[in-house]
Amino acid sequence: MESFISVKNVSFSYGKDTVLDNISLEIEKGKFTALLGHNGCGKSTMAKLFNALLLPDKGTISVDGIVPETEDEVYEIRKKVGLVLQNPDNQLVATIVEEDVAFGCENLGVNPREIRERVDKALKAVNMYEYRRHAPHKLSGGQKQRVAIAGIIAMQPECIVLDEPTAMLDPQGRKEVTDTIRFLNREYGITIILITHYMDEAVLADRVIVMDKGSILTQGNPSEVFSQAELLREHSLDIPQSAQLIHMLKKNGIKTDTLPLKPDECIRLLEEMLAGTDFRLC
């Protein structure tokens, strides 16, 4: 495994309040990682540490081998790791979509011709090119968030950290954003870190890390994490509805080794069960 971000024994406090307590984890290059946990567990603080907006009180964080100890190193990390916030209105600064997407490139000193190429490519990547001359404030929530993501893409980061980007969106807006995230990871090989409390978003990831009270509770691929239903419930965390249904069926005597995490997988399993091909009573 090639790590892009390496977190070693990191602690962080806001005044006297300890938010992260001796955390260690690895983010694999080119992979899609979901970070789960209750509000206040330290997820958003981790996002800012990944981007070097915050620096740890103890321990070290390296991004692509760079430890942020000087201003130049912090600058390099922010070029490599883009951060998308929960509320897109906090990242939209211009009156025209394409000008907003160009803003970050202009701050990086990219020449105008290349900015034009980057903006067009970024807007096409998030399927917002036809809205390039629209006013951002007239867009839907999902469209605004995709424009905010395009602004990060245009700066050509190797990693994008998204801090609960769908929390303020309706189901259609959530789908637009999650489809965009998966496309960027799959087609461009961008390392994705999605901070979310939606289990149906977490199951799309290659790896899930669950945080609780400033520590890592558990981690692994989605099947490994969500098979630990009792552990998650003990910490008042949910599991995907499909997995929850199968756990309930198991408690009532139905045996199956399969744990579906997505609705279509659950439907197929239930069809097999009803056909009597994949389960038996105790």
State the pLDDT at residue 241. 82
Candidate from 112-126, 220-234, 256-270 with smallest mean pLDDT: 256-270
pLDDT of residue 240: 83
Average of per-residue pLDDT across 255-280: 75
Confidence of residue 282 (pLDDT cuts 50, 70, 90): very low
DSSP calls for the chain: --EEEEEEEEEEEETTEEEEEEEEEEEETT-EEEEE--TTSSHHHHHHHHTTSS--SEEEEEETTB---SHHHHHHHHHHEEEE-S-GGGT--SSSHHHHHHHHHHHHT--HHHHHHHHHHHHHHTT-GGGTTS-GGGS-HHHHHHHHHHHHHTT--SEEEEESTTTTS-HHHHHHHHHHHHHHHHHH--EEEEE-S-HHHHTTSSEEEEEETTEEEEEESHHHHHT-HHHHHHTT----HHHHHHHHHHHTTEE-S----SHHHHHHHHHHHHTTSS-EE-
pLDDT of residue 50: 96
206 C-beta neighbours (distance < 10 Å), count? 14
Least confident span in 18-27, 62-71, 137-146, 168-177: 168-177
Reply yes or no on whether the pLDDT at 275 is more than 80.
no
List the Cα angle 270/274/277 in 5-degree steps: 95
Measured CA to CA, the distance from residue 61 to residue 49 in angstroms comes to: 8
How much is the pLDDT for 87?
A: 87
pLDDT in tens, 127-178: 999 999 999 999 999 999 999 999 999 999 999 999 998 888 888 888 898 9
pLDDT for the residue numbered 168: 83
pLDDT at 136: 93
* Percentage of the chain modeled with pLDDT above 70: 97
More confident residue, 282 or 184: 184
Tell if the pTM clears 0.85, that is, is over it: yes
**Position with higher pLDDT, 200 vs 159:** 159
